[in-house]
Amino acid sequence: MTARDWFAKAQSEGFAIGAFNVDNLDILKAVCEAAAKKKSPVMLEFSQGEVGYFGLENIVDLVANAREHYDIPILLNLDHAKKVEESLAAVDAGFDEVHFDGSELTFEENVQYCRKIVEAAHTKEILVEGEIDKISGSSEVHEQDLNLETLKASYTDPEKAAKFVQATGMDIFAAVFGNVHGTFPNQPDLDFELLAAIREVLYKTFLSMHGGSGIPAEQVKEAIKIGKIVKINVNTEIRQAFRDALVEEMGENPEQSTYYKLTPDIVRAVMAVVEAKIDVFGSEGKA
Ligand code: 13P
């Protein structure tokens, strides 16, 4: 089954596939172990920083090995590519999806670049995710409150989204309706009325929800139901689980200089977060 088939299945059966950012090998292992345990399809995604750390060719090989080893559907996504060349490199390398983030460009440039990527990607059955409304925040635990009024100004305008989809032919739209990158003390509520309006105008398009950390489980489930969201990106919560477990392990084993000996509990800590997300997303047993 291709990525398109998996998202179509998710949409018709009412579940979402978790797209987890892979910051290091332990996180890669934890996400795959958790998904295999839950018999769930999963998406591994790499931001440009993460690609810089691993190397594009290594990512493709690691994922190919993981598919064989874990025997579950593992989709591969390039997360928030800001440049056409980066996106085309992932298409050439055989990713399943490329998320072109043209939200900092003018609408016209965004359309023009996104179309170029769509043309290349669709010759290889690779999906393209597009973004027009810059998703606020960054993937970390924020101590400062968000300005909720300013935030609302960045929410998706359904009509503009429809124009973008029509003009580009892209496959997955990154909708913005209260979802933000990272966690905040005043985490905003999702705007379900807006989500329903986006769903209505983009009735032929897959929808993703970025900023999957920090949103209460009930709201995530409602978003999957109302918006038929098929892909939910998660980064902050897994990075935080990794970091907390690493700090704890190093504190408990101050003399240890063999890194891999510290990792079993770290992997377990990240797995717990991924398993909990899979429960909320409803993808358990769908592999
Ligand atoms: P969080 O860091 O809020 O989980 O968001 C991740 C994300 O959307 C990556 O594209």
Task: Write the CB contacts of 81 (distance below 8 Å, at least 6 apart in sequence).
Answer: 48, 87, 90, 98, 99, 100, 101
Ligand 1 center to 141 CA (angstroms): 11
Q: Which residue of the set 26, 79, 96, 191 is catalytic? A: 79
Which residue, by CA, sits nearest to atom 1 of ligand 1? 211
CA of 257 to the centre of ligand 1 (A): 32
pLDDT at 284: 98
Q: What HEC string does 195-228 produce?
A: HHHHHHHCCCCEEEECCCCCCCHHHHHHHHHHHC
Burial 113-123 (b: 16+ CB within 10 A, else e): bbbebbebbee
Q: Which ligand 1 atom is nearest residue 179's CA? A: 3
pLDDT at 71: 94
Of the candidates 6, 35, 15, the residue with the CA atom closest to the CA atom of residue 209: 15
Q: What's the confidence (pLDDT) of residue 276?
A: 98
Query: Which of 50, 134, 236, 280 gets mutated to test ligand 1 (max ligand atoms within 8 A of its CB)?
Result: 236
Spacing, Cα 254 to ligand 1 middle (Å): 32
Pocket lining for ligand 1, CB < 6 angstroms = 21, 79-80, 139, 181-182, 210-213, 233-236
pLDDT score recorded for residue 28:
98
In whole angstroms, give the CA distance from residue 238 to residue 273. 6
d(CA 149, CA 250): 42
**Is 61 part of the annotated catalytic residue set?**
no
Regions of the chain where pLDDT drops below 50 = none
Closest CA to 280 of 17, 76, 13: 17
Look at residue 250 in the predicted model and tell me its pLDDT. 97
Q: What pLDDT shows up at residue 242?
A: 98
